[in-house]
Amino acid sequence: MSLLGKATPFKRTTKIERKGAKTEIEIQGLEDYAIIDSLIKSLEAVKDSYSEPVKSQAREFFLESDGGKKPSNPRGVEGIAEASIELRKRSTRSTLSDEEVALLTANDVPFEVIEDTAELTAFNPEVLKNPALVKVIEKALEKIPGAETFFVKQEQVARRVVSDDSVSAVFSKGLAKELLDVVTVLAIKAKLNAPADKKAIELVKKILGKN
C-alpha cells in the first residue's frame, strides 16, 4: 500500500446548526501540536530575560579592556553548555543616525562614509578641475541646439557607517562604556555538549510555573 493509502482518515462530526459556524473535524495529533506551539510561545516570551544576563556578563569581559586594545573573542562555558562570543563591528548596512554621528565626532572617533550613487556617465573629474578646458567645452557645446538638456546633476548620496578604526578608537580612547553599543554588536551562539532532558524539563516547569 502506498504512503498516501496509509493516511489516517479524518472523522467528520455532525454539523452544528448555527449560522456562520464551521464544520468541525477530528484531527489526530492536533492537541499535541497545540501544546507544543503554546510551549514554544511561552519560552520565546521569556527568552530575553534569560539572554540579557548572559549578554551582560559577556559585555563586561570586553569592557575590562577599555583603554587598551579590543580583546580576542572568548568562549563562554557553564556545565555542559558552551557558546561562541563575538564582538562584531556594526554592519555597514546599518547606517549611523545623526545623533550617533554627532556622538562619535564629539569624541574624535572615526567612521566611514560610503557613497551610494547610481551609475552615470560623466566628464572625467580631472577635466573639470581645469577651468580653461571647461570653458572650451562649454563654448563647443553651446553651438549644439538643446545642449542644455544633455546634462543632469546627481546629488551625492552617502551613508555614514562604522569602520574597523571606529572600534579600535573606542577601546584605545577608553570610551567602551559609553560607545561600545554604538559601534559593535554582541553575538552569542550557545549549544549543549551533552543531552540535558531532565534539566530541560525542570527548567520548563520553572518557567511555566512563573507564567
Residue 206 in grid coordinates: 520553572
SS3 category, 152: coil
The values of phi and psi at residue 190, to 5°, are: -100, 150
pLDDT tens per residue, range 144-185 = 888 777 777 767 678 999 999 999 999 999 999 999 999 999
Average pLDDT of the chain, as a whole number: 87
Q: Which strand (E) or helix (H) includes residue 136? A: helix 131-142
What are the distances in angstroms from CA 4 to CA 8, 25, 26, 30? Answer: 9, 19, 19, 19
Beta bridge partners of 11: 26
Residue 194 in grid coordinates: 551533552
pLDDT band at 1 (very low <50, low <70, confident <90, very high): very low
pLDDT band at 189 (very low <50, low <70, confident <90, very high): very high
Place of cell 534569560: 50
DSSP annotation string for the chain: --TGGGPPPPEEPPPP-STTPPPPEE-TTHHHHHHHHHHHHHHHHHHHHHHHHHHHHHHHHHHTTTTSPPPPP-EEEETTEEEEEEEEEPPTTSPPPHHHHHHHHHTT---EEEE---------HHHHT-HHHHHHHHHHHHTSTTGGGG-------EEEE--HHHHHHHHHTT-HHHHHHHHEEEEEEEEESS--HHHHHHHHHHHHHH-
- Predicted confidence at residue 207, as pLDDT, reads 86
- Predicted confidence at residue 4, as pLDDT, reads 42
C-alpha 52/C-alpha 91 separation (Å) is 21
Residues in the chain: 211
Q: Residue 175 carries which DSSP code? A: -
Strand ranges inside 23-165, DSSP E: 25-26, 75-78, 81-89, 112-115, 158-161
- Predicted confidence at residue 9, as pLDDT, reads 56
| pTM for this entry | 0.67
pLDDT tens per residue, range 110-146 = 999 998 765 566 778 788 788 888 888 888 888 888 8
- Predicted confidence at residue 120, as pLDDT, reads 65
> Residue 13: is its pLDDT beyond 60?
no
- Predicted confidence at residue 71, as pLDDT, reads 94
- Predicted confidence at residue 5, as pLDDT, reads 47
pLDDT tens per residue, range 19-75 = 667 899 999 999 999 999 999 999 999 999 999 999 999 999 999 999 999 999 999
pLDDT tens per residue, range 76-123 = 999 999 999 999 999 999 999 999 999 999 999 999 999 876 556 677
- Predicted confidence at residue 78, as pLDDT, reads 96
